[in-house]
Structure 1
């Protein structure tokens, strides 16, 4: 009887802790990022290696502008699971927002090593290469992203921007128009500015 009571308490505790993680996901989805962080932190107190909660807490930190704490979560996650590709992609995004384009290339390189068919990794690599002035490499990265995902509207938009710099306006306009057909809002301005 005593063992049964202990088992019941253990199951109830695990259930409550899992609810904190699920609650964190719901709070994140509702845009309540600070509350989501608190829920994930409570869950991680008893489940410190729960990868999804660490990752989602990092995303929540990003949403409230606490990039350093987001980076800490993503790096902690990679210590637990060095093949967690979304952590590399998130580190690349944070690095891009911090204008540290060389780090973006390191993280996207790691992601591509894990999954060469990651359209997002190729796209982020292209964005960093574009910012660094490596236009041929950026074009290749955008092409790779589009080859993997034909509906990647942002890749068309930024590939078009590279082509504008190369004075290939007709081809750039084709990309802008395709980006518009994929509901990329910035495409309208690009069409207005470069396509007569």
Structure 2
């Protein structure tokens, strides 16, 4: 009888924890990030290596502005799964937002080593290279992103911005106009400023 009660409690605990993970997913999908963090944290207290819950909790931390906690989750994921491209890309985005552009290149380099067809990794590498003044490298990265995803409007926009810096105005305006056709909001301002 004692073992039956212990088994029942164990099944109940596992069921509750699984429910926490599912609830976390529901909250995450509904963009209720604070509740998602709470549910994922509860689940991770007994399943600390569950990569999907770690990733979604990290993304939730990003959304509520707790980048240090997000970084901890993404770094933990890379310890558990060194081939997790999305974790590298998330670290690259946070690094970009923190103006740590050399770190962006490290993280995007790791992502591209794992998946050279990641348009997002090429794009983020282009943004960081542009900020660091590596204009040719930035254009190459944007070109790669566009080759992989012809509808990557932001890549056209920022490639156009690099071309402005290289005094290639006609080509820059072509990029701005293409970005506008892909509904990139900032493209209008660029066209008004540079394409008269």
Moved more, 124-133 or 60-69: 60-69
Aligned pairs, how many? 196
Alpha-carbon distance, 1:14 to partner:
3.0
Q: Which residue of 2 aligns with 1:179?
A: 179
Alpha-carbon distance, 1:63 to partner:
1.0
Q: Which residue of 2 aligns with 1:116?
A: 116
Q: Which residue of 1 aligns with 2:61?
A: 61
Moved more, 126-135 or 173-182: 173-182
Moved more, 40-49 or 19-28: 19-28
Q: Which residue of 1 aligns with 2:125?
A: 125
Alpha-carbon distance, 1:6 to partner:
6.2
- Matches of 2:65 and 2:9, distance apart in 1: 39
* TM-score normalised by structure 1 residue count: 0.94
- Matches of 2:2 and 2:13, distance apart in 1: 17
Give unmatched runs, 5+ long, in structure 2.
none
Deviations 1:41-72 (CA, angstroms, capped at 9, x unpaired): 00001111100100111111111111111111
Tell me how large the CA RMSD over aligned residues is.
1.7
Alpha-carbon distance, 1:90 to partner:
0.4
- Matches of 1:149 and 1:10, distance apart in 2: 48
Alignment of 1:78-117 (within 5 A): 78-117=78-117
1:30 aligns with 2:30: yes
- Matches of 1:120 and 1:18, distance apart in 2: 32
- Matches of 1:107 and 1:156, distance apart in 2: 22
Alpha-carbon distance, 1:15 to partner:
3.2
Give unmatched runs, 5+ long, in structure 1.
none
- Matches of 1:66 and 1:58, distance apart in 2: 9
* TM-score normalised by structure 2 residue count: 0.94
Q: SS of the counterpart of 1:82? A: coil
Q: Which residue of 1 aligns with 2:134?
A: 134
1:45 aligns with 2:48: no
Q: Which residue of 2 aligns with 1:17?
A: 17
Deviations 1:135-156 (CA, angstroms, capped at 9, x unpaired): 0000000000000111111100
Q: Which residue of 1 aligns with 2:164?
A: 164
Alpha-carbon distance, 1:95 to partner:
0.4
